[in-house]
Amino acid sequence: MKREEALKLRMDILKFVRMFGFMDSLNKPLGRPLSVSQVMALEELESTKLTAWELANKLMLERSSVSRLVDKLIKEGFVCREVNEKNRREIHLSLTDKGEVTVHQIREQSIEFYQNVLMNLSELEQKKVVDGFELLIKSISELTCKTNREN
């Protein structure tokens, strides 16, 4: 890839992230704004209990950042802490009923949002967008794995 194409890709991704962040902040689940990291944490906890360390690894964030994030989610009633009865030093995080409802609402809002975004494109263009994102994610994942093996 030429340098100019890489620069254009960089600028387009930055523009997308800014636009996505702006549009996403308009949706406030249960009347409360949630950060992208908070939403991602709720989604990770949707189907399983995790320790703060496991959640930090899945979110690719520092444990201290996840600790603050989790404290806010607990304060708002989305997440609860549970002591692991087999290892009392281990604390598991899980969604509350409010957290479950919120994850479902966010998913439905985002599906509707993306349907509206893609509605302006032909079926072929829609497929190109979806396929392009899959390819980009695959390439980033492969590069990340390669870099981690080398370090």
Tens digit of pLDDT for each residue in 53-108? 999 999 989 989 999 999 999 999 999 999 888 888 889 999 999 999 999 988 88
How far apart are alpha carbons 112 and 141 in whole angstroms?
Answer: 27
pLDDT at 147: 74
23-44 residue pLDDT tens: 555 555 545 578 888 999 999 9
Reduce the DSSP state of residue 60 to 3 states and report it.
coil
**Residue 50 contacts by C-beta under 8 Å, 6 or more apart in sequence?**
44, 58, 92, 93
pTM higher than the cut 0.85 = no
Q: What are phi and psi of 132, to 5 degrees?
A: -65, -45
Specify the DSSP element, H or E, that contains 98.
helix 97-119
How far apart are alpha carbons 99 and 75 in whole angstroms?
Answer: 12
Identify the band that residue 21 occupies on the pLDDT scale cut at 50, 70 and 90: low
pLDDT at 23: 55
